[in-house]
Amino acid sequence: MEDNGLVIDLSAVSNEHQAALDVQIAILSYCRVVEKRVVDQVSQFCYYWFVTRCALVLDSKLSSTFTSAMLFEWMREPFDQQQRRETLKKSIEVMEKALIMGQNA
């Protein structure tokens, strides 16, 4: 590079700059690989402890302690909640029909 008669050799600097960029790219790539491996390990760890050591054990204990009819009764939605949901569905259907009629008019 030449500025007011002064010559500056940037060949060494540009090689260092390129080498620094190469190192940054390599480190970034390595970090992404490590991040994916950590996520995989954590998800496998969580699956093992939650599903294998918790949910399956709980399911086994509930199934052996209570009859399926009792479990079904406990899981069934309460009647008043079911009625509210049905009323809401009907209300939404009426609004949708009114909207369609208003768009077609």
Q: How far apart are CA 72 and CA 66, in angstroms?
A: 10
Q: What is the pLDDT of residue 5?
A: 66
- Model confidence at 3, pLDDT cuts 50, 70, 90, reads low
pTM: predicted TM-score of the whole model, two decimal places = 0.42
Q: What is the pLDDT of residues 51-72, one digit of tens each?
A: 999 999 999 999 999 998 999 9
Tell me the CB-side half-sphere exposure of residue 12, using CA atoms within 13 A: 2
- In this predicted structure, the answer to whether residue 94 has a pLDDT above a threshold of 80 is yes
- For the chain, the structural domain boundaries read 77-105
Q: How far from the centroid of its chain's Cα atoms is residue 20's Cα?
A: 35
Instruction: Characterize 9-40 residue by residue with b for buried, 16 or more Cβ atoms within 10 angstroms of its Cβ, and e for exposed.
Output: eeeeeeeeeeeeeeeeeeeeeeeeeeeeeeee
Residue 27 is predicted with a pLDDT of 94
Question: What kind and span of H or E run contains 76?
Answer: none
Question: What pLDDT, on a 0 to 100 scale, did the predictor assign at position 8?
Answer: 62
Mean pLDDT for 37-51 is 94
